[in-house]
Structures are given as structure tokens and as C-alpha cells.
Amino acid sequence: MKNILDFDKSALADYFQDIGEKPYRAVQIIKWIHQRAVDDFVQMTDISKVLRNKLGEDMVIRAPEIISDQQASDGTRKWLLGLHDGNGIEMVYIPETHRNTLCISSQAGCALKCSFCHTAQQGFNRDLRIGEIIGQLWLANRLLGQRITNVVFMGMGEPLLNFANVVSAVSLMLEDNAYGLSKRRVTISTSGVVPAIDALHERAGVSLAVSLHAANNPLRDLLVPINKKYPIEGLLQACHRYAVAGGARRHVTFEYVMLADVNDRDTDARQLARLMAPLPAKINLIPFNAFAGTAYRCSSAERIERFKTILQTKGLVTTVRKTRGDDIVAACGQLAGTVKQRQKRWLRVKPPNKEGAV
């Protein structure tokens, strides 16, 4: 049976047309599933019994299964979610005064092997389906009893290597009859899949964050190996195109993990400032969150503050990310689900096809 969470608005309208129903049924069903978070077609009281039965014969409403639920001292909450094939992913809820942010995963594991990231140590199994992505938001709204206001694709996986499914899930997040999030409240973070950055504006136009972490190619090759395929120069050109696409001038957020004696020197800060000068950029400095087996250490608070000051002196908007959920291993770079069987990911990323898939 098909999982109805795998259907965005367009695909659901096509389904209803195929079974002889009016396409407007798609809006009705989307409201029931994504606004009201129902998990049974029987609950859809304004739908005829005949159609409800038909849906029940063809479809299921299936989100990932909760395996564990942990809450940190600062209110951050982390769930380990089980998928139907035995893989596990993690999502994190981060409550703040004026917003509630959900950090979600896009793949089971990750193939990019960033050396400072715990998720990367788990290996890669597969891309998540649309329903496994949007199902995280669906599940969080049900569990929390309140609406998530912001979604960040900063959990397990590289979102732009699962382009088509991520973009379809995002379309539901932005859909007024589903979650109704604005484009600025959905952020996709990428390690630098350049061809997909260009396609992302056309298909979604949401906020973009780039995991940069180094200001020169030799160091970034070591920290973020995909840099060998898409070096910094081409990546920044793609970011500039994204920032000014459609006549807009949007900031791109550049994430920079602070690693003691690796990328945190004054010379690194000045080099980063020179790189960012032509761009409408925001810099987000991320204190490194340690995990078992890593040789990296977090830069001292004084060193991070010095780094920030150099960037601000050069006119760059710079913030230091507050570490959240580290007592339950839910902080940035710490997420690690359960990868059932490691697979090799084919990383020859082609230009997007007409549907935007890469």
C-alpha cells in the first residue's frame, strides 16, 4: 500500500484524477492530514464513506516510529525514529521564546564524511522518502500539541543529494493548506552540492545555509571532502547567484564550526572575511560539540569571541550559535541514528533534470 505522506499536493491531485475524483479532493485530504494531523481516514468526516474506504484500501498514513524520546535540561528534545527497513534517524525540537524549531533529517546516515561530524561516522544507507521527511514535521506537531514555526534541514544527511524528495516535502511545508510556513522559516543546509543550489531557487526558494568550516581549499578538503569536487570558488559563486536570484538580495548563512588550532586562528578569520566580502552573508560560528572517538577539540570561548570580533570589524554580520541539547547528544554535529547497512553513495552529481532532481 502507498503511504499518503509520500504525496505532495500535485501528486495527490493526480491520484484523485486517476480514480475518477475531482482534484480538489487533494486540498481536503491535505488539510485533514497535515493541518489536523489525523492518522486514520475514518476521522475525515467531510469525506464520503465510499471515498474513505477507497483511501483505506489504497493508502496508509505512516510516519516514522518513535524508538526513543529524550529531553535535555534546556528543553531541547530529541527523538530517535525508526524506519520500516530498520534504519534509524534523529530529529530535534529546539524551543525558544518566539519560535519553535524542528531540526530534521533527509537521509539515513550521510555519505559526505565530514571529519568533525558524528553523523558522518555512521556511514550512509539511503535517501529518505517524502513521507519520511514530512512525517517528521507531522509527528512533531502531534507529539508537541503545538505548531512548529521553523524547520531546518540540519539533521542527518545532505539534503541536496536527496533533492527531489526534499523539495516535494518542502512544498508541503510551504503549502497554505498544510503547514503554511514562509520560505524564510524553512532552511536547507548544504555542504556545497553546487548544481543543486542553482536548482533550489527555482523549485523552493527557501533560506540557504552552507556548511563552510574553512576559508581555503586545502583545509576544507580535509574537513568537508565534497570540497574536492566543488571547491570554494565555485561554491561561493553559486551562493551569490542564489542570494540575488529573482532580483532579491537575500543573505546566505555560512556555518563555521570552531575547531581548536585547526581553523580558529586570526589568519583564518581574516581569510574568511575576504571570502565573504562580495556576498550578502551571515556567519554563524558553531562551537564544536565533541563525540566519542573524535580528536577535535572546541575552540575556547575567548578564541571564539576573538574570531567573531575580527569578522565584525570587517563588517560581517556574525553570531555564535548557542549550544542546545548537548547533554542528550542533540547538539549540532552530534546526531547519529542507526544505519542498518552501509551503502556506497554515487557522488557524481549531474545537473538537475527538468523535475529538479540531481
Secondary structure letter of residue 266 according to DSSP: H
Instruction: Give Cα 94 to chain centroid, integer Å.
Output: 14
Distance CA 58, CA 16 (A): 12
Distance CA 73, CA 48 (A): 47
Non-local CB neighbours of 164 within 8 Å, separated by 6+ positions: 355, 356, 357
pLDDT in tens, 234-253: 999 999 999 998 777 789 99
Of 106, 109, 201, whose CA–CA distance to 161 is shortest? 106
Distance CA 89, CA 107 (A): 8
pLDDT in tens, 13-41: 999 999 999 989 999 999 999 999 999 99
Cell of 342: 552501509
Kindly write down the DSSP assignment for every residue of 326-354, as one continuous string. GGGT-STT----B-SS-------PPPP-T
Active site residues per annotation:
90, 332
Enumerate the domain spans of the chain: 2-60, 65-328
Residue given cell 561530524 in the structure block? 117
pLDDT in tens, 87-137: 999 999 999 888 999 999 999 999 999 999 888 778 899 999 999 999 999
Secondary structure letter of residue 93 according to DSSP: E
Sequence length of the chain is 358
Cα dihedral 110, 115, 117, 118 in deg (nearest 10): 80
Are 289 and 298 in contact, with CB atoms under 8 Å apart? Answer: yes
Q: For a pLDDT cut of 90, what percent of the chain falls above it?
A: 79
Write down the pLDDT at residue 287: 94
Homologous superfamily of domain range 65-328: Aldolase class I (3.20.20.70)
Cβ atoms within 10 Å of 322's Cβ, excluding its own: 11
Non-local CB neighbours of 209 within 8 Å, separated by 6+ positions: 152, 154, 187, 188, 189, 190, 252, 253, 254, 255, 284
Non-local CB neighbours of 282 within 8 Å, separated by 6+ positions: 251, 252, 253, 254, 316, 317, 318, 319
Beta strand 59-60 with 150-153 is unpaired
Distance CA 82, CA 337 (A): 9
**Which CATH class for the 2-60 domain?**
mainly alpha
Output the tens digit of pLDDT for each of the chain's 358 residues: 999 999 999 999 999 999 999 989 999 999 999 999 999 999 999 999 999 999 999 999 999 999 999 998 888 999 999 999 999 999 999 998 889 999 999 999 999 999 998 887 788 999 999 999 999 999 999 999 889 999 999 999 999 999 999 999 999 999 999 999 999 999 999 999 999 999 998 899 999 999 999 999 999 999 999 999 999 999 999 999 999 987 777 899 999 999 999 999 999 999 999 999 999 999 999 999 888 888 999 999 999 999 999 999 999 999 998 875 555 454 454 444 555 555 555 444 444 444 444 4
Residue given cell 487533494 in the structure block? 26
Distance CA 79, CA 169 (A): 20
Are 110 and 156 in contact, with CB atoms under 8 Å apart? Answer: yes
